Amino acid sequence: MKGFSRSIRSVFSILVVITVALVGQNVFAERIKDIASIDGVRSNQLVGYGLVVGLDGSGDQTTQTPFTVQSLKSMLAKLGVVVPANVNPQLKNVAAVMVHADLPAFIKPGQTIDVTVSSLGNAKSLRGGSLLMTPLKGADGQTYALAQGNLIVSGFGADGADGSSVTVNVPSAGRIPNGASVERGVLSPFSQEPFVVMNLNHPDFTTALRVANSINDKLGKGVARPIDGASIEIQSPLNPAEKVAFVSVVENLLVDPGLAPARVIINSRTGTVVIGSEVRLDPAAVAHGSLTVSISENFEASQPAPFARRGETVVTPNSEVTIEEEKSRMFLLDAGVTLNDLVTAVNKVGAAPGDLVAILEALERVGALHAKLIVI
C-alpha cells in the first residue's frame, strides 16, 4: 500500500508540473477574437434631426435659432395644424437636436438600439425633455431606424439672480436606452463567400503568421493563410449554420501575439511619457541639472527734498534677478539597458517627467535610443 501511495503521489506531482508548464506557456496568449475582427462584420453609423419638447424653460431661444421654429411649423403641418406664416411662436420648451446611433451588424427589424441626443441650438438643458419621432438615416440616405422617447440627462445647471451659474457635466446632451426601433437591416457578406477574412486590430506580420499557424494546427494544413501583415484568409464552409460553428471555433483559439515595435510616446502638452517594454539603450552617460531664473520687481517713489522749489515725485522700478542652478548628477547606462533600468536610473537623479522628455530626446539624437520616438 505504501508503494501504491508513493506512486500516486509521484503521478500527481508529474501532473502538477505539466499543468504549470502548460499554463506558463499560455500566460501571454490571447484569443483570436480579442486581437482580430471579421472583415465586413461591423456597425454602421446613423444620424437624424429632431425636436425635444417638454423642457422647463431651458429650450432654444427662437430669435437666435429660427430653424427650431421652422422645424416645429413643418411638423405641425404634417399633423394637420397650420400655423400662419406671419406668426412666430416664442418657444422656451422646445430644442432642436441631432440624434445619432450605431447600427450593429446582423441586427434585425424590430430590435432596439440606444441613441444619443445632442442640442443643436442654444438650449441650456435637455433635462426632462422627450424626443419626438425622428428618422435615423445611414450614409446612403435610407432610413434604418426611428427614434423616440424620454431623455436621460446626467448633467444639470443652476442660475442665480445675479447672473452667476453652476453647471455639472453636460446638460445639453443625453441618451435614450433602447430609444430607436430598427426598421431595416444591413446585408452582410458573411454568408456569401466560401472564406472568412480576419483583420488584426494592430497589423503585425509576426502575429498574422502565428494566427494562421494556430488555425492550421487545429483545423488542418492549408485552411488559413496570411494575406499581408493585417489580414488572414480562412477557408470556411458554405452552409450558414456550419460557418457560424466554424468561426466560433476559430475565434476562440489561443495565439501568442508578436511583440510591439519599440516605441517611446511623449505628450508634449501634458508631459506624459510612455515607454514600451522593448526599448533598449546603447552605452551612454547622462548628466542633467536644472537652472531656475527668478525676477522680482519692486517700485520705489523718488521725491524732492523738503521745501524744494523744483523737482517732482518719480516712481522708479527696482528689479532683482537671481539665478539658481542645481548640481547636475551623472548616471551611466550600460549596453542593452531595459525599461526598468532606465526608469530606476532616472529616478535616482530625481528627474521629473519633463526632464525625462529632454533626456530621451537627447539619447535619440545621439543614437543611443533604439526605439521610435513619437511626440503627440
Asked whether residue 333 carries a pLDDT value surpassing 70, the answer given is no
Asked whether residue 131 carries a pLDDT value surpassing 80, the answer given is yes
Sequential DSSP letters for 279-348: -EE-SEEEEE--EEEEEEEEEEEE-PPTT-SS---EEEEEEEEEEEEPPPEEEEE-TTB-HHHHHHHHHH
Asked whether residue 59 carries a pLDDT value surpassing 50, the answer given is yes
Query: What is the reported pLDDT for 5?
Result: 43
What distance in Å separates the CA atoms of residue 126 and residue 98, rounded to the nearest whole number? 12
Asked whether residue 8 carries a pLDDT value surpassing 50, the answer given is no
Asked whether residue 25 carries a pLDDT value surpassing 50, the answer given is no
Nearest to 103 by CA among 41, 44, 143, 180: 44
What distance in Å separates the CA atoms of residue 136 and residue 129, rounded to the nearest whole number? 19
Nearest to 290 by CA among 328, 332, 322: 328
Amino acid at the residue 138: G
Amino acid at the residue 229: G
Query: What is the reported pLDDT for 338?
Result: 63
Mean pLDDT along residues 120-137:
92
| Sequence-separated (6 or more) residues with CB below 8 Å from residue 210 | 255, 256, 257, 258
Q: Are 198 and 214 in contact (CB under 8 A)?
A: no
pTM: 0.69
Residues paired with 323 in a beta bridge: 293
The lowest-confidence range among 124-133, 237-246, 358-367 is 358-367
Asked whether residue 309 carries a pLDDT value surpassing 90, the answer given is no
Give the percent of the chain with pLDDT over 90. Answer: 36
Q: Are 114 and 101 in contact (CB under 8 A)?
A: yes
User: Which helix H or strand E contains 220, and what residues bound it?
Assistant: none
Mean pLDDT along residues 160-172:
69
The lowest-confidence range among 127-131, 134-138, 336-340, 370-374 is 336-340
Q: Are 231 and 198 in contact (CB under 8 A)?
A: yes
